[in-house]
Structure 1
Amino acid sequence: MAARIRRPRARTCERCGREERLDDATGSWVVADGTGEVYCIHEWDINGSFVPFEDGPTEA
């Protein structure tokens, strides 16, 4: 069985507070609330605690 990979649904910049959400229709990130700083090199709050693989049934 193939592993299913999931993406984060939302992210927030740790530097300027910009919030974005994943748009299912386009498959890309869109600004949710507040644009943050225009010239910020965004540092997203997605880190090693996010697990991109869904747990699924294992084959015996």
Structure 2
Amino acid sequence: MNSNLNTKLDEKLTLLNTPQSIVEVTAAEAEELGACEEDALTEKDAWEAVEIDTPDKE
């Protein structure tokens, strides 16, 4: 990996520790960080998994 990418990645890693910050990374940076694409669930399935079922009150 070149030093320019290392410098940018170091800056982004610092920003990742800043609350309420959004950091975009390239595919190469994501790979360097060990990120992988989650393919087990769709986004809809993930949101449905956190919904709490409550019994109907009559």
Q: Which has the higher Rg, Structure 1 or Structure 2?
A: 2
| Greater RCO, 1 or 2 (C-alpha within 8 Å, sep 6+) | 1
Higher strand fraction: Structure 1 or Structure 2? 1
> Is the TM value for this pair above 0.5?
no
TM-score range, shorter chain: under 0.3
